[in-house]
Structure 1
């Protein structure tokens, strides 16, 4: 049986037809679908390139996985320009597939949804984030932002009410905002619901090192996220470090990520006089590379404007870091109240971090608690949930 996965990510393809990706969707990622389906087709934006930087990208192609490339557009303007070609490719792939899963909300899912719905084929939606915060005015600077947010929120609600299956990365937050038909009318063979993170953590990805009770000579904070906009709050992270250093704390920051805003963030650090205390390490492909930065750190800080259930936070928890984040979306399911910052500004984040710097003896129990929570997201546990969800969809494709 053939499953069509409509994916939001950008992929790159070499002349030898190898496909590469910068995060998440590597060779192992597709196993979650191949455990249940005999063949999958990935419909996503694909750029043809002559070479690839293997330090920043991971192989994605493998046996039983076929890629149907969409034009490699960006932004609303790019989507409008390529709309007819995108629709044509999607229609062809939907016709050739038995079941469809799309990961939403996203511009790609916005186009795919009406096409899939009209096909009458069984489909499921994997809800990755809250469109109300992910596409909010603060998160994206775009003339069309109000329209985009309105359409995304409206369509996400519609998708959840129409799809045969809906899975959420959260246990309750997104379910309450975007309820599925199964949640409203009750689970059945035709309509069902599940929850599981997109993360993949194996035994080797967990690490907990004992720390001394005294405050380290230099406390390292870490932030992980793409630098395409201010959505992940790198500016707040940098300003909070500046505030704490002015108060006399010897702290530094590691920023994992890259994007068009990187030079702006680097300049911000220099303007605040803390350029030498910030280490911009660039984008890291694969968790093993990220883990090398995590083990250098003590506190992971996430001043995000919107999240689903952030993998970066779970990864930090699984490596024994204290985590502090915005009081928004799925972060509220991962972190205790005293680790959630209600105000999204540098003063508030600095205040919450300072509280633990002044009471370092309380950090050990906090980070151990977070480490134990992260075990809920081990791949062996999530694999069972995914297999059950995908099998229910597959059974509808056989009818």
Structure 2
């Protein structure tokens, strides 16, 4: 039996038809579904490339195939290409025995309409809240603000009427996008094997080394806020910020650091291979910063906590489920973040480290894989019952 997974992530297809990812969602992520299904087909946008770049990871493999969607970027292109896209989506729906939506994007409009014409069993995997992304103008500009309320409504309808829902949070997304029969599974999609954990850290006076991890293609990660906060702190104590991630906004952030006179304190590493590549840099840092304007339950934060890294973050999405309220800041408040960074001591960092490590243990693969097996088995049973 095959499961069809609709995903927002943009992949790369090389000249041989192989699928690659420059960040996460590699083959090991999709392979997890094979414990319950014979085949996995991922439906997503795929950019054509000649050859993969160093550090890219294969996303397809034995049992996992991809169906490239009609390519579009942003709401305007979505509307322009909607006729061709809808024909493709309707065909995908009609061929599927079980659909899984891992999407918080306008693509759901097309699938919602297709399901009205050709009902199929489906499940929702709620990984974020479009209310934050679109209505606050973080994605899609003016059109995004128009699409936002409608997309929230569509997601609520899909979540309410699905065969069952997986949520990466334990409370936040469940309250906003409930299931009518409470067929709800609260399971993070982070992947933390035993090698992802390291408990022992030490903190000293001196330069405060901070790190951020995120896609720099959209403004919702709030990198500008972090840079402004580092500028304010640098007047009073030595500080360094390392930023992992790449995207079209990187050049603007680099210019901002130069304009503020802190280019030597802010280091942009670009894309770094997930897993050990990112962990290596986390283990060299004193503090993980999350200045996002929208999140579900960020994997990068849990990866940082697993290596005992203290965290200061905005209080968005499911983040308050992970860390103490004392280390939460308001969105877009560089002054508040700077005040936190100025006051933190080595002793407090040590206490934060121990607390975060213990919390991350709740998200280890050994525990989550058992929960995922229950969820995947549920999906297969629902698909079989639907015929």
The aligned runs of 1:228-239 (5 Å cut-off) are: 228-239=217-228
Contact in 1 for aligned 2:6/2:103 (Cα 8 Å): no
Q: Residue 224 in 1 paired to residue 213 in 2? A: yes
Q: Secondary structure at the match of 2:23?
A: coil
Q: Distance in 1 between matches of 2:140 and 2:41?
A: 33
Question: Displacement of 1:155 after TM fit?
Answer: 1.0
Q: Distance in 1 between matches of 2:140 and 2:113?
A: 27
Question: Displacement of 1:136 after TM fit?
Answer: 3.0
**What do residues 324-375 of structure 1 show as CA deviations (whole Å, max 9, x unaligned)?**
000111111111110111353110101112221xx32122121111011111
Question: Displacement of 1:138 after TM fit?
Answer: 4.7
Alignment equivalent of 1:202, drawn from 193, 208, 212: 193
Question: Who is 1:26 aligned against?
Answer: 26
The aligned runs of 1:239-278 (5 Å cut-off) are: 239-247=228-236, 249-278=237-266
Per the alignment, do residues 229 and 398 of structure 1 end up closer, same or farther by CA in structure 2, a change over 3 Å counting? Answer: closer
Q: Distance in 1 between matches of 2:321 and 2:96?
A: 36
Contact in 2 for aligned 1:7/1:108 (Cα 8 Å): no
Q: Distance in 1 between matches of 2:201 and 2:369?
A: 30
128-137 vs 294-303, which moves further: 128-137
Q: Secondary structure at the match of 2:15?
A: coil
Question: Who is 2:66 aligned against?
Answer: 67
Q: Residue 324 in 1 paired to residue 312 in 2? A: yes
Contact in 2 for aligned 1:58/1:286 (Cα 8 Å): no
Contact in 1 for aligned 2:164/2:184 (Cα 8 Å): yes
**What do residues 209-260 of structure 1 show as CA deviations (whole Å, max 9, x unaligned)?**
3304x42x2211111111123211111111111111112x111010111111
- CA RMSD of the aligned region, Å? 1.5
Per the alignment, do residues 202 and 395 of structure 1 end up closer, same or farther by CA in structure 2, a change over 3 Å counting? Answer: same
**What do residues 109-149 of structure 1 show as CA deviations (whole Å, max 9, x unaligned)?**
23213323543321100001111112232523612122111
Q: Secondary structure at the match of 2:47?
A: strand
Contact in 1 for aligned 2:313/2:329 (Cα 8 Å): yes
Question: Who is 1:48 aligned against?
Answer: 48
**What do residues 258-295 of structure 1 show as CA deviations (whole Å, max 9, x unaligned)?**
11111111111111111011110001232222112111
Q: Secondary structure at the match of 2:9?
A: strand
Question: Who is 1:187 aligned against?
Answer: none
Question: Who is 2:3 aligned against?
Answer: 3
Q: Secondary structure at the match of 1:253?
A: strand
Q: Secondary structure at the match of 1:179?
A: coil
Q: Distance in 1 between matches of 2:225 and 2:260?
A: 12
Q: Secondary structure at the match of 1:43?
A: strand
Q: Distance in 2 between matches of 1:361 and 1:281?
A: 29
The aligned runs of 1:1-399 (5 Å cut-off) are: 1-55=1-55, 57-140=56-139, 142-183=141-182, 192-212=183-203, 214-215=204-205, 217-247=206-236, 249-356=237-344, 359-399=345-385
Aligned residue pairs, count = 385
Q: Distance in 1 between matches of 2:49 and 2:15?
A: 7
Contact in 2 for aligned 1:121/1:397 (Cα 8 Å): no
Q: Distance in 1 between matches of 2:373 and 2:179?
A: 19
Q: Distance in 2 between matches of 1:229 and 1:97?
A: 32
Where do 5+ consecutive residues of structure 1 fail to align? Answer: 184-191
Per the alignment, do residues 116 and 24 of structure 1 end up closer, same or farther by CA in structure 2, a change over 3 Å counting? Answer: farther
Question: Displacement of 1:82 after TM fit?
Answer: 2.0
Q: Distance in 2 between matches of 1:116 and 1:202?
A: 37
Q: Distance in 2 between matches of 1:103 and 1:241?
A: 35
Per the alignment, do residues 398 and 140 of structure 1 end up closer, same or farther by CA in structure 2, a change over 3 Å counting? Answer: closer
Q: Distance in 2 between matches of 1:149 and 1:251?
A: 38
TM-score by length of 2: 0.96
**What do residues 286-318 of structure 1 show as CA deviations (whole Å, max 9, x unaligned)?**
222211211121111111111100111101101
Per the alignment, do residues 70 and 295 of structure 1 end up closer, same or farther by CA in structure 2, a change over 3 Å counting? Answer: same
Contact in 2 for aligned 1:26/1:60 (Cα 8 Å): yes
Question: Displacement of 1:397 after TM fit?
Answer: 1.6
Q: Distance in 1 between matches of 2:279 and 2:321?
A: 23
133-142 vs 118-127, which moves further: 133-142
